[in-house]
Every structure is written in structure tokens, then in C-alpha cells.
Structure 1
Amino acid sequence: MLSIYFWIVPACAAVALLFAYIFFKGMMKESEGTETMARIASHVRKGAMAYLRQQYKVVGIVFIVLCALFAYMAYGPGLQNKWVWFAFLTGGFFSGLAGFIGMKTATYASARTANAARRSLNDGLKIAFRSGAVMGLVVVGLALLDISLWWILLDYFVEEATSSEKVVVITTTMLTFGMGASTQALFARVGGGIFTKAADVGADLVGKVEAGIPEDDPRNPATIADNVGDNVGDVAGMGADLYESYCGSILATSALGAAAFATNPELQFNAILAPMLIAAFGVVLSLIGIFLVKTKEGASQQQLLSALGRGINISSVLIVFASFLTVYLLGLDYMICGSIITGLVTGIIIGKSTEYYTSHAYAPTQGIAMSSKTGPATVIIKGIGTGMISTAIPVITIVIGIILSFLFAANFSFANMSMGLYGVGIAAVGMLSTLGITLATDAYGPIADNAGGNAEMSKLGEEVRHRTDALDALGNTTAATGKGFAIGSAALTGLALLASYVEEIKIALLRVGQATIEVSGQVVNTAEASLTDFMTYYDVTLMNPKVLAGVFIGSMMAFLFCGLTMNAVGRAAQKMVNEVRRQFREIAGIMEGKAEPDYAKCVEISTRGAQREMMFPSLLAIVTPIVTGIIFGVSGVMGLLVGGLGSGFVLAVFMANAGGAWDNAKKYIEEGNLDGKGSNNHKATVIGDTVGDPFKDTSGPSLNILIKLMSMVAIVMAGLTVAYSLL
């Protein structure tokens, strides 16, 4: 069944991993600078690794329990494919591995970036960005390697009556390892987000506002925990997050391709291969973009943004040509290229919109900074308003993107549902096709942030700190852009997963022995039923109270999840604030720089808080689709997924943009505007930033995983829903 073009996918995976290794070794050859710089980096590295080991122990227990459940469902009542438990395990393993490698790289890169900034701005940018590229290339490389190996394995072992049925079984089985990736990603994002923001809020409120000392001042006991948090939350968590986004979009689109071309076996495998091949070409094009990123000494924020934009934009233009090549090689309809390009353009527009609303080079963030003249309350009000307004462009863009990608693939007919949804899925792949470089710009952010912290604690001088501040401010914008990108892809992928859920329901019905369904008075073979037939059979309409109940529960889940994670940050931050105050009060000589604070105690507080607080919201995301399916059946689950997708997407955009704008409003003043550091204006924006911290780094980015995880759980538990729903 495998064609010669299939082997391009693992080959490009190997290229990605090879260049990730080359960039890592190149970074390691650089000097960490002075003895103080190396010692600070060592503290951060040890703290990050200790946290990650503890997190993996907790998540490992959850995975063992879920694997046992899946194995029982497969080998007991036969409600599930026998490969699911193993697929789930490997998805989680590769997701965690991607985050671990990215974080390890980041903890080695920060001091080297700070030291390079002593020479020039461009040297600092180059090391930070290429270290971020390690994360981007590891994510895409491991994802494509995982997908390739699973396809080869299942192609050998799965036996079905026809080749068409075989690929449907393979693609729906592969979807389940997406649940493993999503589960790992959610724990990493929530736990890492709680850790980093508890430390950040504690450090800012007591250090900057109460004690009046600079950010990352070594006298502040929470500074090391803050820098550790940047790595465990914004690097390890983000890597696991985008690994599952990338895999989810490819796997969902492949499953939809198997269904859409079920009556055309000659093109069926090519339709499945298309998203994998586009992603593979994207690896090579991302590498080209990475090598184009450079800047000049004294560059402004606008010029730094342009330097990163140059790499991303050239990669994006080249992927357009790659999509036409893919369609040509596989003999598919050229209209599918329209869907791919639509996804790519949608991602670019969402990224530019995010940049506009979060960069202090533009009016919205400058307006938040100006509002500091009347205190922190107006800063918060202005930030919330700006965040809400910022949702309009991404939502309208996603709506247009969904309609256009559907129509391009369906030859401008809303009647061809299967092909249209395949177009939406492949649009998500197009959006994420250059993830190698877009994730590099995101992972660059926390590396630059840590470099700034290292420079401050090592007292490297005003010129170096000015350079690291410029790189850090750029990182805030790129991180916000990356979050917007991930959220946008979640919206398209979530819609594709909805359609994939229906395909899994079909297989679940066949597995329990239901060979026919009755649709509008006619008996239809289950194996031949269309997506519309299943919508009619399960009465998935807005007049069905079970669907409406699911919509309300799904909408509530987004807000409940954010509330739980925000409160978790608040509780952990309170403990951090009390500890920092205690050390300032009880350890003589801290403020004079004569005594070293107890950094380890603050790291311990964040670690304990994150491990304890991440469990309930993460498990709630897994349990809710299962309980909804058992009570309300398939129609209720469809409502749940729609409600979660709609409200979760808008809420995530709002939180990410509001948080990013608050952060950069503070940076705008720290650069010397509106009376500069230490002024009342600055203190007002620091408070706005502390409110925005859990918005942009804990709750907001976790929502896009919530959207996809609920869909993945629904897909994996489809057999249980079909067999045991009460209503």
C-alpha cells in the first residue's frame, strides 16, 4: 500500500532531527560567560529538570490508569481497537519527549544568549532563535517520525476485507495516539503554567511593587523560580502543546481523507498521504526561513519583528508552491491547494492581528500604557477591553477560512460534506505546515526572557541589559503570536476532529454488531452510511435538547477550566508572596546584597503548588466527554464539542491577547516612556501584568488543548458511548 512518496515523510523527519542536533551542538559551543552567569544558569537548569521529573511521575500514574482502562475496553467487552492503549502511550511519550528536549536546550541557551548579547544584538538574536528552532524542529521531526512508524506498523498488522476498509481502520486508530499527546500536553501546560505564574506574580508583587527593586534582581528570592517557570511552562509545556496540535491536524485530515475517498481506492491513500507530505515539505522550507533570520545592531522593535517575519513569510510563500507540487504528485484535484493556501493565509492574518494588539510598537498596547496615568484599575479595564476587541479579527478570519477551505475542496458546493470537511482539515495542516519556524519564534521568547534575567542578576551593564530587554520584548510579542497561531489551528483542527468523531462512531457501531441503521424510514448499511446519515440517525439538530445540553456544558467547560486554573495560580502565588516577604523580613542582609536568598524554597513552593493544582482541571477535561456520552449519547457529545470549540476559541484569543498586551505595556514604560522604571505608571502596569500572567501563560494557552483533548477523548470513547448511553 505504501507509495514511494510516503518515504519522503520519514526522510524529512530525519532532516528535522538532524538540524535540531546541529543547532543544539552549535549553541553548546558558545560560552556561558562569567562564573556568575554559569552558576545562575545551573540553578535554573537544575530547578527545571527537578520539576519536570516530578511532573512526569504524576502524569505517568495517570497514563498507567488510562492505559489499563483502554486495554480492558479492547480485550474485555471489545468496545475498542486493540492498538489504542499502545497508541495512547506512544503519543504521550513523544509529546513529553519533545517538551523535554526543548526545555533542556532552553536552559543551556539562556546564559549563552546573554553572553552573546555582550558582543552584539544580532549575536544574541541568532543564538536565542536557533535554540528556539531546536524546539520547532524536534516537534515536527518527532511528530512525522511517530506518524510514519505507526503507519508502517499498522499497515503490516491490520487485516480488513478491502484495502479501503483497511486504511479507514488505520487512520481512525492513529487518531487515538493524539489523545495521548493531548493528555500529556494538558498536564504540561497547566502544571507548567501554574508553576511559572505563581513565581512570576510573587516576584513582581513583592519585588517590583513593594520592595521597589528591578525585575530579575538577585536579591529577590523568587527570581530563580520565575526563570525556572519560563522553561517548564513556556518551553516544555508549549512544545508538548504544539506537538499534539501538529499531530492532531495531520491525523484528523488523514482520517477524513480515508472517508471522503472511500469509493475511489486509487486516490484514497493519496488523500491520506497529502497532509503528511505537506508537513514534510514544510520542514525543509522552515529550515530555509530559519537561516534567513538576522538583524543589525540597534534595531528597533519594528525591525526585530521584521527580521523574524522575513523568515516566516518566505517559508509561507514557498509552502504555496509545495502544496501545488504535492497535489500534482498525488494526482488530486488542484482545488485542494485553495484549502491549503486558505489555512496558511488564515494563520498569517491571525498572527499579524495578535502582533498588532500585543506589540508595544502599536497603538493598542501603547494605549494600555497611557492608561497607567490614572492607576492600575484603568490599566486592567483597558487591557480587558483591548483583549475583547482583539477577538473580532481572528474569529472573522477563522469563519472565512472555514467557509473558503470547505468550498475549495468541495468544488464550491455545500452538498459535498465529506470533501468539504477534508478541505477544512487540510487547511489546518496548511496553517501548521511551517511549524518548524513558527514554533522557533515562540520558543525563542522564554530563552530571551531568561537571558535578560541572567544579565540582570550577573550585573552585566546597561548596554547588555538594553539589548536583552529588546530581545525580551520581542519575545513577548512572538510568544503571543505563537499562542494565537496555536489557538487558530485548534479551531480548524477541532472542526476536523468533529467529523472524525462521526467516522469513529461508524466503526464503533460495526464493532458492537450493528450492521444497519434506519435513516428517514430507510434501512442503510452502517458501513456505507454518510456523515449526513449519522447526523439524521442521532438527530444532531439544534432542536434536540440533548444537543443543546451538550452545547451549554461545552461552553461552561471553557470558563470553568479557566476559573480553576486562574484560582490555582492565585493560591500558589499567595504562598510565594508570603515566602518572599518572610525572607525579606527574616534573612538579614538580603536587601544590602550581603546575604543570598533561599531560592530553592521558592522553587519548592511552585513545584508543590503546580503538582497539586494541575490534577483536577486536567482530569475534568478527560472525564467530562465520557460522562456526557454515557448520559446524553452521541448527540450530546456533538453538542459538547461544538460548545467547547466555539466558546473556548474566543475566550483563548481574548486571554492570550489581553495578557500579552499588559506585559508589553509594562515593557513600553520600562524602555523609558511615561517616566520609566520605578514610577507610579510603571507600578500600575506591573499590576496589570500580574493579572495578565495567568491569562496568557496558564489559562489561555491551555484552552486550545482542552478543545482538542475533549474531541480526542470522545473519539477514543466512541465505543462506550454507542454501547451504554442512557438517553
Structure 2
Amino acid sequence: MIFPLMVRGIGVLSSIIGTYFVKVERPGKSEDAMKAIFSGFLTSAVVSAALFFIAGFLYLNTPEMSAWGGWWRLPMAVGVGVLLAIVIDRLTEYFTGTHASPVNDVKKAADTGPATLILNGISLGFESSVWSVLVIALTIIASIAIFGTIQNPALDANWPLDIYFVRRGMTGIGMLTLTGNNVAMDSFGPIADNANGIGEMSWSGKTDKATREAQQIMADLDAVGNTTKAITKGVAIGSAVIAAVSLFGSFLVDVSRAQASLGMSVAQQIQSIGIRVDVPQVFVGMLIGGALPWLFSSFAIQAVARRVSDRAGSAPPVQTGRA
């Protein structure tokens, strides 16, 4: 019970350390600003992962942990959660960053009219959610692989610690380890946005070179702020999905115990009826199955968008003015 608290303390410490690595050598480029933010995020992740194993070795390396197959399983599960946060960060940055192809494709689609712009944007939104769902599913599978080899017949199958300790709880805690970095990135967005708005009002009517350079810097930082806000939303949604599996399991365990206290047989209890969404394999199948329609819808909309864009690009220019 103490180890999750140690994990959260390590997360706070690693977030503080990561702030010292957020440095920009050449200000004025949105790519440089995003790299600086990610360097701090990655530094915090590496430091926290190393401290997880050190804390696990010092605190969990006891004879009692031999029933669970070794002390290393808990730090490994927490590390998988940290890795999930990093992958979600990279996926979101790819689909929302100004230098990546998805945003540039949307920008090009705007040149041929609002129809292609809307179609392209919706298709990319559908596609981005699918890859995030697959990453979350792989994380749950990794948690199963880490604890799936444990053999201890003395443990009851309905023991709540199996949910909290073995299946998904520690992975979700690991994903939320870098909350300090996520909150900083989330606050960076509105700060840069407001600063850019104040600058636009202050520089109204000025056309000198220094003003244009400052406006470009603020616009780039504003764009990075939009990306960082999207990243934090992705991490929050991913951690919520991981937590949902544990909540499903906790609910079924508590209800089954209440039913057992009322004299209901195992066959009549809720844990023996219907689809068990608390089983991680079933939940992973539901995630993947639910994501497939979005993926194929994205492909279909992209095909329509390309066709409309090709026809709009080949059409003759519209003549305006008097004949």
C-alpha cells in the first residue's frame, strides 16, 4: 500500500528535475520550443523510471514478495504506464504539431475550399483516436504479460488486490507519475495564447522588422501551446481508460461479496453473468472492436476528400468582375 505513495512522491521529484532541462537554444522556432518541452518531459520520465526500480529494490525486495514472482514486477508495471504517457505524447504531437504532415495536409485542404477542409480534419481526428486506443490496448496487454506468470493458488480469484496490484492499478499510477509536467504543459497553452493576443493588440499598425519577428515568435509559441494542451488531454483520457478497467473490477468484486453475504450461489452472482468487462482481455477486445469503425470511416472520408480536392484543383479558376 505504501509503494504507490512512493511512486507519486518520485513523480513530483522527477517533474521538478525535468523543469531544469526545458531550455531553448534558438528562440523563435516552434519546433525548438516543442523539443525543449519534450526534453523536460523525457528527462522526468527517465529519472522516475530509474527511481522506481531503486525504490522497488529497497522496499519490495522481501520474502513476502516471492508469492508475487519478484519485486521487479511492480516497478515494471509502473514503467509501462510512463511509457504509455510518452507514446501518447508523441502521437498527439504528430497529429497536432505544426511541422508534421497531418496539420500541413489540413492546411493544404483549406486552399480548395471549406468542404475539403472539414473532410480532411474529421478524417484525421478519427484516425488519431484509433492509434491512441491501440496504444492503450497494448499497455493493458503488457500489464497482463508482466503479472500473467504469477502462480499462487492461495490467493482468491476475487481478491481486490488482484485488481489494484496485479492487473491495471499500477499501470495507471505510472501514467500519472508525470502529472507535474502535464499540468505545466497544459498551463503553457493559455499563457502563450493570451500573450499572443496582447501582443497583437499592442503591435497594431507597426510594420518594422523587430515587430514582425516578435509577432512570428508569439504566433509559433501559440501554436505550440495548442499542441501541448492536446497532449495533456490525451494523457488524461488514456489514464481514465486504464482506471476504468480497475473500477469495473472493483465494482464486480464488491457486488459479488454483497451477493455472497445474502446467500446467493456463485452461478447467480454478477461475476458469473454476461460479458465480464473487468477481464482485461475482454476489455482490450472491446477497445479494438470499437476503434475499427473509426479507422475505416477515416479511410473512406479521406478518399472522398482526395477526390474532391483533385476535382477542385483541376477546375478552371473562377472569373470575377464585369464581362
Matches within 5 A, 1:257-656: 272-331=1-60, 332=65, 333-411=71-149, 419=162, 422=165, 423-459=167-203, 461-506=211-256, 508-509=258-259, 514-520=261-267, 534-536=270-272, 539-541=273-275, 646=287
User: Corresponding residue for 2:299?
Assistant: none
Distance in 2, matches of 1:286 and 1:296, equals: 21
How much does 1:506 deviate? 4.8
Deviations 1:120-165 (A, max 9, x none): xxxxxxxxxxxxxxxxxxxxxxxxxxxxxxxxxxxxxxxxxxxxxx
CA contact (8 A) 2:79 2:171 kept: yes
Amino acid at match of 1:540: G
Segments of 5+ residues of structure 1 without an aligned counterpart are 1-271, 522-532, 548-634, 655-727
Name stretches of at least 5 consecutive residues in structure 2 with no aligned partner: 66-70, 205-210, 296-323
CA contact (8 A) 1:358 1:365 kept: yes
Q: Normalising to structure 1: TM-score of the pair?
A: 0.34
Q: After superposition, what is the alpha-carbon deviation per residue over 1:447-486, rounded to whole angstroms, capped at 9, x for unaligned?
A: 1101111111222733322221111111011111111111
- Is the CA contact 1:406–1:419 (under 8 Å) kept in the aligned structure 2? no
Closer, same or farther: CA 508–516 of 1 in aligned 2, 3 Å: closer
Residues 204-283 of structure 1 mapped to structure 2, 5 A cutoff: 272-283=1-12
Alpha-carbon contact 2:18-2:44 (below 8 Å) kept:
yes
> 1:327 & 1:341 partners in 2: Cα distance?
12
Between the aligned partners of 1:406 and 1:329, the Cα distance in structure 2 is: 24
Alignment partner of 1:517: what SS? coil
Q: Which amino acid aligns with 1:535?
A: Q
Contact 1:357 1:390 in 2 (8 A): yes
Q: Is the 8 A contact 1:338 1:409 kept in 2?
A: no
Q: Report % sequence identity.
A: 29
CA distance, structure 2, for counterparts of residue 431 and residue 292 of structure 1: 21
1:43-192 to 2 correspondences below 5 Å: none
Partner Cα distance (2:113, 2:226) in 1: 23
Relative to structure 1, the CA distance from residue 469 to residue 288 in structure 2 (aligned partners, 3 Å threshold; closer, same or farther) is same
Residues 335 and 411, structure 1, Cα contact 8 Å, conserved in 2: no
In 1, are the aligned partners of 2:89 and 2:231 still within 8 Å (CA)? yes
What is the CA–CA distance in structure 2 between the aligned matches of 1:472 and 1:447, rounded to whole Å? 9
Considering Cα pairs closer than 8 Å and 6+ residues apart, tell me whether 1 or 2 has the greater RCO.
2
Deviations 1:646-697 (A, max 9, x none): 59x969x99xxxxxxxxxxxxxxxxxxxxxxxxxxxxxxxxxxxxxxxxxxx
Per the TM alignment, residue 502 of structure 1 is displaced from its structure 2 partner at its CA by: 2.3
With over 3 angstroms needed to count, the CA separation of the structure-2 counterparts of 1:298 and 1:319, relative to structure 1, is closer
CA distance in 2, matches of 1:503, 1:519: 12
User: Number of paired residues?
Assistant: 267
Q: Deviations over 1:340-363 (max 9, x none)?
A: 111111121111011111111111
User: Retained in 2: the 8 A contact 1:410–1:419?
Assistant: no
- Partner Cα separation in structure 1 for residue 117 and residue 267 of structure 2: 57
* 2:8 aligned partner, one-letter code: A
Is the contact between residue 11 and residue 178 of structure 2 (CA under 8 Å) also seen in structure 1? yes
Q: Normalising by structure 2, what TM-score?
A: 0.74
Change (3 A) 1:282 1:315: same
Deviation at 1:434, TM superposition (A): 1.2
1:421 Cα deviation (Å)?
5.7
How far 1:273 moved relative to its partner?
2.1
CA distance in 1, matches of 2:250, 2:217: 48
Counterpart CA distance in 1 for 2:18 and 2:235 is: 17
